[in-house]
């Protein structure tokens, strides 16, 4: 990509001390914890926002909170930037490093420390994958609710950094609503604990502030998360519509009728075709838009809920209603949806937007998105969490064509501005990272941003933790 988004220029004095820093850190840490050869650093040069890449100075792979604290203490002393990293699946560039920075990747801290069913919590290390938590408790009838599409790979630490969501958040909330406590290391090496097994914690809600702070306030090394008993049954149902408008109006009316399914996912025609070709999920190909509506509970409950939803869908010209007949079919329906990004990646490069809009604006913004992308001569596929208004237009382009790359980035910015202008926000669940950083002034006034930055500076006065992210590089407040 053309690289319109700037990262901080590396500090030449740090680069000059590179070999000293590496040997100091090697002395400080157990053998094999620090990697610094070009070959080993390569996998860390970018994340899920692959258009941008920068090599870090070195990467540390600690196994304990104490090791994280030791690295941070050293970096604080010598004013070396630090980039926290989970699995590197960020779609907004939240984990992209810079040449003068040490990456602290928490993937080796992947132990589940405690599962406590009577209190319905699990205590895990930050490098545990999202899905591993649900897998560990599934046989006993529990699950961990937030389910980002990357849940097989992404870590709970990364989820906390970005306050990640997923398809089932409509009912169960996002990460911040399912997080009860963290152990974290501040930049000066102090280890603090926030929250725990109790629902409320004392003092200010620093836990709420840390969740979604994109690794700028400290490095989370352990988390206490809420476990929820699995419903008796789950049933995703496919609704095919002749128009996108019909599908969006159906979403609004389902919510207005007081029916809150577990998930309402929306796919437009290009997205349906891409996913069906990849997953063979049985999606109808003769419709303009598809809703996957999932209900849960006992058969009687699901029947009652679906009956009402189907009635509403009929009023909006639903063409196909497909209830799945088996668990395999249900799994296939979700496989199609969750592989949307991967499947799209097979046919083109894409950037994935994440704006969230009020439900009444869905139709308007979908149309606006189509117009914007057409104006740049590009294609778009829409696949998103309709129930909470969280749009994910995938703008398709060729990453090796600088002209097209620039157009894709500009189109994305226009779409996000549209989302803000209709009363929405720049990012619903992916985070600001570097991708949306320079659009922040479109959503927030100078006073709003200054206040956020001042609070950030209470944690990291030197702006060394994940420094190139979230806030525009100019006008930073300490």
Alpha carbon separation from 226 to 117, 121, 177, 319, 463 (Å, rounded):
10, 5, 9, 39, 32
| Angle CA 354–356–361, to nearest 5 | 130
Least distance between another protein and beta carbon 67 (Å): 19
Per-residue binder mask for another protein (CB under 8 A), 167-186, x = binder: --x---xx-xx--------x
Contact segment (CB under 8 A) with another protein among 30-38, 286-294, 364-372, 443-451 equals 443-451
- Which of 212, 236, 393, 412 touches another protein by CB under 8 A? 212
- Report 1-30 residues binding another protein (CB under 8 A): none
Least distance between another protein and beta carbon 10 (Å): 25
- Report 70-129 residues binding another protein (CB under 8 A): 116-121
- Report 350-369 residues binding another protein (CB under 8 A): 356-360
Residue 275, both tokens: 């996913």
Instruction: Outline where 316-388 has alpha helix (H).
Output: 327-338, 340-347, 362-375
Q: Cα torsion for 454, 223, 196, 185, to the nearest 10°?
A: -50
- Kindly report the backbone phi and psi dihedral angles of residue 91, in degrees, each rounded to the nearest multiple of 5, phi listed first: -90, -5
| 259 in Cβ contact with 252 (< 8 Å) | no
Shorter beta-carbon distance to another protein: residue 33 or 382: 382
- Which of 52, 74, 142, 187 touches another protein by CB under 8 A? 142
- Which of 84, 93, 157, 424 touches another protein by CB under 8 A? 424
- Which of 138, 314, 451, 475 touches another protein by CB under 8 A? 451
Least distance between another protein and beta carbon 286 (Å): 29
Please classify residue 203 by burial: count the beta carbons closer than 10 Å to its beta carbon, then call 0-12 exposed, 13-18 middle and 19+ buried.
Answer: exposed
Please report where in the chains the tokens 């699990």 appear, as a residue: 122
Q: Which residues contact 85 (CB under 8 A, 6 or more apart)?
A: 44, 47, 95, 97, 103, 104, 105, 106, 158
Least distance between another protein and beta carbon 193 (Å): 7
CA–CA separation, 247 vs 366, rounded Å? Answer: 11
CA–CA separation, 73 vs 459, rounded Å? Answer: 14
Shorter beta-carbon distance to another protein: residue 303 or 371: 303
- Which of 153, 259, 310, 399 touches another protein by CB under 8 A? 259
Establish if 232 lies at the interface with another protein (CB under 8 A): yes
Least distance between another protein and beta carbon 202 (Å): 4
- Which of 33, 125, 149, 163 touches another protein by CB under 8 A? 163
Cα 283 from chain centroid (whole Å): 26
Shorter beta-carbon distance to another protein: residue 24 or 253: 253
Establish if 159 lies at the interface with another protein (CB under 8 A): no
CA–CA separation, 322 vs 222, rounded Å? Answer: 42
Cα 381 from chain centroid (whole Å): 19
Least distance between another protein and beta carbon 348 (Å): 26
Contact segment (CB under 8 A) with another protein among 21-29, 281-289, 292-300, 339-347 equals 292-300
Least distance between another protein and beta carbon 404 (Å): 27
Establish if 445 lies at the interface with another protein (CB under 8 A): yes
Contact segment (CB under 8 A) with another protein among 14-22, 128-136, 162-170, 395-403 equals 162-170
Please report where in the chains the tokens 């840490």 appear, as a residue: 29
Shorter beta-carbon distance to another protein: residue 40 or 311: 311
Contact segment (CB under 8 A) with another protein among 128-136, 258-266, 314-322, 406-414 equals 258-266
Sign of the Cα pseudo-torsion (161, 267, 299, 149, in order) = negative
């Amino acid at each position: 990509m053309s690289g319109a988004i700037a990262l901080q220029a590396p500090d030449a004095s740090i680069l000059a001390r590179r070999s000293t820093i590496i040997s100091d850190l090697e002395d400080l840490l157990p053998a094999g914890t620090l990697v610094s050869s070009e070959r080993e650093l390569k996998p860390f040069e970018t994340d899920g926002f692959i258009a941008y890449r920068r090599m870090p100075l070195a990467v540390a792979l600690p196994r304990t909170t104490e090791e994280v604290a030791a690295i941070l203490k050293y970096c604080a002393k010598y004013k070396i930037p630090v980039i926290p990293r989970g699995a590197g699946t960020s779609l907004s560039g939240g984990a992209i490093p810079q040449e003068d920075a040490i990456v602290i990747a928490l993937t080796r801290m992947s132990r589940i420390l405690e599962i406590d069913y009577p209190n319905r919590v699990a205590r895990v290390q930050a490098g545990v994958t999202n899905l591993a938590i649900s897998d560990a408790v599934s046989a006993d009838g529990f699950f961990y609710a937030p389910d980002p599409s990357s849940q097989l790979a992404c870590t709970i630490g990364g989820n906390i950094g970005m306050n990640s969501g997923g398809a089932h958040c409509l009912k169960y909330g996002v990460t911040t609503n399912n997080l009860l406590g963290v152990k974290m290391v501040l930049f000066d090496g102090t280890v603090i604990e926030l929250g725990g097994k109790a629902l409320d914690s004392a003092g200010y809600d620093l836990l709420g502030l840390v969740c979604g702070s994109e690794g700028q306030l400290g490095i989370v090394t352990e988390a206490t998360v809420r476990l929820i008993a699995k419903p008796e049954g789950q049933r995703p149902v496919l609704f095919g519509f002749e128009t996108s408008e019909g599908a969006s109006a159906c979403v609004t009316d389902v919510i207005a009728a007081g029916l809150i399914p577990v998930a309402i996912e929306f796919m437009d025609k290009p997205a349906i075709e891409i996913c069906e070709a990849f997953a063979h999920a049985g999606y109808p190909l003769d419709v303009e838009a598809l809703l996957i509506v999932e209900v849960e509970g006992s058969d009687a409950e699901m029947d009652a809920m679906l009956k009402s939803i189907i009635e509403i869908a009929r009023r909006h010209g639903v063409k196909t209603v497909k209830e799945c007949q088996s668990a395999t079919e249900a799994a296939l329906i979700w496989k199609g949806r969750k592989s949307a990004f991967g499947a799209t990646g097979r046919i083109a490069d894409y950037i994935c937007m994440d704006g969230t809009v009020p439900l009444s604006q869905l139709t308007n913004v979908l149309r606006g998105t189509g117009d914007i992308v057409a104006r740049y001569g590009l294609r778009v596929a829409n696949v998103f969490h309709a129930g909470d208004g969280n749009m994910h237009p995938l703008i398709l382009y060729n990453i090796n064509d600088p002209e097209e790359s620039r157009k894709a980035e500009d189109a994305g910015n226009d779409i996000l501005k549209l989302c803000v202008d209709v009363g929405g926000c720049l990012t619903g669940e992916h985070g600001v990272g570097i991708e949306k950083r320079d659009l922040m002034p479109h959503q927030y006034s100078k006073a709003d941003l200054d206040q956020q930055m001042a609070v950030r500076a209470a944690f990291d006065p030197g702006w060394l933790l994940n420094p190139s992210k979230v806030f525009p590089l100019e006008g930073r407040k300490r």
